[in-house]
Amino acid sequence: MNFELPSDLKEYISKLDTFINTTILPLQHKDDNNRFFDHRREPSRTQWDNGGLPTHDWEVLLTQARKLADEAGFYRFPIPKKYGGLEHPSANLWMCALRYHMASHPVYGGGVSLANDLQNEHSVIGNFPDFLMLYHWGNEKQKDELIPARLAGEFRMTFGLTEIHHGSDATHMDTRAKATKLANGATGYSITGNKKWQTGAHSATHFLVFARTSGENGSPKGITAFIVPRETPGVIIKSYEYTLNMPTDHATILFDDVQVPASAVLGPLDNGLAIAQTFTHENRIRQAASSCGAAQFCIDRSVAYARERIVFGKPLSANQAIQWPLVELSTQAEMLRLLILRTANEMDDIQRRYKGNAAMPPWIAIEKQLGHKISMCNYYANRLATQAADNAIQVHGGNGYSRHQPFEHIWRHFRRYRITEGSEEVQMRKVAGYLFGYKSTGLNDKKDNSKL
C-alpha cells in the first residue's frame, strides 16, 4: 500500500504552482488588486449600498483569473476531453489533492487569494457541478446549446432546492409545477412557490428549480427539475440575504405562475432528485479537501508565529498551552487528509467499474458503498477548519483578531460549510445509519451484490 501521491500528480501540482506564481499572483498584486485580499477585502468586495452584492471590479478580476487559467489548460481539468477537460481516470483523487494543496499553500493558501478564493467557490481549477447535471441529464438539444454557453460564461444557472420553509428535508417542498396550456397552445408547466439561498442569482441567466409535479410530501418521487430563464414573467427576486461573510449573492426567489415549456424539464419527469446525486458526492469530498487544507494552513501559520513571537523573554511556542491545541489539530488534519485521499481514490475505482452502467450509475454506486465515508470526511473537515481558524486567532492574539491576518475571514467563510452541502447533523445521521445498521453498503449482505 502506497500513501505517496502519484508522480504525475506531483508533476501537475508543480506546473500549477508555476502558473499561479508567474501569472495569477502578479495579477493579484497588480495596481490595487490586493484590496480584495488584504484587510480591506470585505468592503472592497461588497456593494453596501446595493443589497450587499459583489462589486463589479471584484467579479471582473475573478473572471480575468479564470480566463487565464482556462487558456493555460487548468480551469477545465475535471470535465470530459470533448469539452476541453483532462478527463483523468483518477479525477476525484487528483481534485482532492489539488484542492488540498491550494488551500494549504503557505503563500496563496487559506482560500483567500486570486488563485483559490473559496468565499465564492472561485478557483483556477474549476468545479462545474452545473456542468455535470447538464452533461448527465440533459437531452441532446440541451447539451448542444447549454454546455458550450456554460463554458463560454453565457449560461449561468443557480441550484434551486432549498426553500423559505424547507432545507435539508428535500422531499418536502412548497413549490409546485402543474401541467398547463401555454399562450401558444403548447403543453407546458406553471410553477408557483419559492426558493432560498440561490447562490449566484445576481448574475444568473437561468434558475434550476425543483418542484413537485406529483405525489405527496415526503416522497422522493414526484419531484421534477426545470431550467427557468431569469426573465420569465412571474420570477421575482425578493431579496439578497446578508450573511456572516460578505458580499452576498444568496437570493430568495418567488415564482408566481411562472410558465415554461415542456422542453424546460431537465432529466426525468417526477424523478428530479436523482439529478442532485450526480454531483453531491464529488462536491462534498472536494469541499472536505479544501476545508482540510485551510485547517492545515492555519496550523502551519500558527506554529511559525508561535516560534518567532517572544513573550516574557522566550518563544511563545515554549508554552504547552500553545503546543497542545496545535498538536491535536495537526494530528486530526493529517488523519483526515489521508481519509479524504483514500475515499477519493475509492470513488474513482467505483466510477471506473460502473461507467456506462445504466442500471447502476456510478453516483448511485458511490452513494451505496461510500456515502458514509464521504459524509465523515465532509462534516469533520468543515468543523476542523473552523476550529483551526479559531485557534489561529487565539495564538496570534490581537493580530489574529484583526483583519490584517486571514483567520477571521477563514473562520467566517468555512463556518458556512457546517450548514451547506448537507448540514453537519445530516451528514452525521448518514454515518450513524451505516454504523447502526439502518443503511447498508450492500457489500456484506448475504444476497448476491455483485451488480451493486
Distance CA 292, CA 379 (A): 11
Distance CA 159, CA 209 (A): 7
Cis peptide before 247 (omega within 30 of 0): yes
Compute CA distances 351 → 217, 354, 369, whole Å: 32, 5, 12
| pLDDT reported for residue 421 | 80
Q: Report the candidate in 345, 348, 351 with the shortest Cα–Cα distance to residue 364.
A: 351
Say which residue, 451 or 225, is predicted with more confidence.
225
| pLDDT reported for residue 2 | 77
All 3 cell numbers of residue 391? 485557534
CB within 8 A of 212, min separation 6: which ones? Answer: 173, 175, 176, 177, 222, 223, 224
| pLDDT reported for residue 26 | 98
Mean pLDDT of 10-26: 98
Q: Report the candidate in 119, 133, 255 with the shortest Cα–Cα distance to residue 191.
A: 255
Topology of domain 157-266, per CATH?
Butyryl-CoA Dehydrogenase, subunit A; domain 2 (2.40.110)
| pLDDT reported for residue 170 | 87
Confidence of residue 167 (pLDDT cuts 50, 70, 90): confident
How is the chain split into domains, by residue range?
Answer: 7-128+275-436, 157-266
Cβ proximity of 107 and 57 under 8 Å: no
Distance CA 428, CA 438 (A): 13
| pLDDT reported for residue 15 | 98
Residue 448: pLDDT above 70?
Answer: no
| pLDDT reported for residue 444 | 52
Cβ proximity of 78 and 442 under 8 Å: no
Label residue 22 exposed, middle or buried (CB < 10 Å: 0-12, 13-18, 19+). exposed
pTM of this structure: 0.94
| pLDDT reported for residue 449 | 40
Cβ proximity of 383 and 333 under 8 Å: no
Residue 445: pLDDT above 60?
Answer: no
Tens of pLDDT, residues 114-153: 999 999 889 999 999 999 999 999 999 999 999 999 999 9
All 3 cell numbers of residue 71? 487558456
Mean pLDDT of 391-408: 97
| pLDDT reported for residue 404 | 96
High-pLDDT (> 90) share of the chain, %: 91
Q: Which amino acid is at 177?
A: A
Compute CA distances 410 → 8, 55, 110, 400, 425, whole Å: 31, 20, 7, 11, 22
The CATH number assigned to the domain with range 7-128+275-436 reads: 1.20.140.10
Q: Report the candidate in 45, 273, 79, 56 with the shortest Cα–Cα distance to residue 159.
A: 273
| pLDDT reported for residue 452 | 34
Residue 265: pLDDT above 50?
Answer: yes
| pLDDT reported for residue 169 | 87
Distance CA 119, CA 183 (A): 42
Radius of gyration of the chain (CA): 23
| Average pLDDT score over the chain | 94
